[in-house]
Structure 1
């Protein structure tokens, strides 16, 4: 099976127009977002907005139509898979978004580390409450009209990464999207990717510090089934050919 190449969500620039600039480089799935999609997370996003992070500007009454419009634009111009990365304190808004027929994958964000969101128990704070995370994923999987991915950040303090990966798998998620962040280093933690791959059979998307063919292959050799690229694509292009990976 060929590895899937995913454009990962980054700092507020992965809308449809941006994604369409990148798909000629060989991406098979692109990720819109991440979006806050309930009243509580949108309110937190307004606080973050005041700190100069304009990607958190989305209104409660319009988020559904915004996401639907972006997904439609992608599907009208490109035949690949559309994922959307979502932040919410309850599963229901994510399930609602999954009903947009142009969306192939809803991705639960257990990754964001903005304090205004983690204070709500959202984003990577979900990793510190495994029972809550498990129940959250199960509810989304049970009722989603799309496939389900969970993106989580590795090497968070007081979090057992292997336990989290096992919870994501046992909860029925279709993808485990691992940001293999290694604090203090400018390369991914390939050891944790390898350990996770030995524990689960769910499709693993490896993320972090993929900026050329060599680093992509290292991620795959570590045990990831696919790769995702974020920062290397921030300029609207990448400097290597994904089709040879």
Structure 2
């Protein structure tokens, strides 16, 4: 757990595949201190998986040159005060290193997607399948960290056989600066992860209002992120105000 808010305000916009682009981040910038664009598939295997997902009516970014796309999208955010990030999926290290270098050039966070649970992406060896292969995930974190960019790992709870509190120190050692945790219906696990990591914890899932923000921050998260309602100013305004209040002199009270 960090000693101070991760960014100001301590609210992030969480990536939505095929939707979270620079225009989306610009629209939410008033309410957030960070925005994770993407996700985007970087290599042949994950791009093929993304195409299969598009073929069954999911939305994905599939530019001809994903590295150039990342560069262009981050450049479009250069005048904003928020911290940009890019969520990426890959099975290969070389395109990850290139993407991370672009993020470093833009003072952006590279976020490794160990979160996507779509069958096609998991079959390719990306997404949440990485949580079952600690060595490969840590190798991706080390590769990204070598670029000089800040590294986030997007993870999810409630995956059989996977202990995020046990994994957290390994990700720390590999170079992760942020753990972006989709808590699913296991919110208290945030407290268990916080005890095991020095990384900044961003808590995600059903962050909508004062109560949900207070719950996650009470468990030890350093920030929260908003997913599906990230294009709804009413939700974002409530979340921003609640998160800022938490780090003020008189934190909110919440029953856990």
| Correspondence for 2:224 | 227
Greater shift in the superposed pair: 160-169 or 231-240 = 231-240
Unaligned runs of 5+ in 2: 244-256
Query: Structure 1-normalised TM-score?
Result: 0.89
Equivalent pair of 2:91/2:124 in contact (CA under 8 Å): yes
- Note if 1:19 corresponds to 2:31: no
Please state how far the C-alpha of 1:6 moved relative to its aligned partner: 0.8
- Note if 1:131 corresponds to 2:128: no
Structure 1 CA distance, aligned partners of 2:107 and 2:5? 22
Please state how far the C-alpha of 1:190 moved relative to its aligned partner: 2.0
Show CA shifts across 1:129-160 (max 9, x none).
Answer: 1122222222222x223111111111112212
| Correspondence for 1:164 | 167
Please state how far the C-alpha of 1:204 moved relative to its aligned partner: 0.8
Please state how far the C-alpha of 1:236 moved relative to its aligned partner: 5.9
SS of the equivalent of 1:240 reads helix
Please state how far the C-alpha of 1:211 moved relative to its aligned partner: 0.3
Equivalent pair of 2:11/2:240 in contact (CA under 8 Å): yes
Counterpart mapping for 1:50-69 below 5 A: 50-55=55-60, 57-59=61-63, 61-69=64-72
Structure 2 CA distance, aligned partners of 1:122 and 1:80? 28
- Note if 1:36 corresponds to 2:34: no
Equivalent pair of 1:21/1:237 in contact (CA under 8 Å): no
Structure 2 CA distance, aligned partners of 1:37 and 1:11? 13
Structure 1 CA distance, aligned partners of 2:138 and 2:187? 25
- Note if 1:240 corresponds to 2:245: no
CA distance 1:68–1:236, shift in 2 (3 Å)? farther
Equivalent pair of 1:169/1:176 in contact (CA under 8 Å): no
Residue of 155, 158, 165 corresponding to 1:152:
155
Equivalent pair of 1:213/1:242 in contact (CA under 8 Å): no
Residue of 49, 55, 59 corresponding to 2:54:
49
Structure 2 CA distance, aligned partners of 1:220 and 1:201? 15
| Correspondence for 1:81 | 83
SS of the equivalent of 2:238 reads coil
Equivalent pair of 2:28/2:231 in contact (CA under 8 Å): no
Over the residues paired in the alignment, what is the CA RMSD in angstroms? 1.7
| Correspondence for 1:207 | 204
Unaligned runs of 5+ in 1: 183-188
| Correspondence for 2:120 | 116
Equivalent pair of 2:89/2:112 in contact (CA under 8 Å): yes
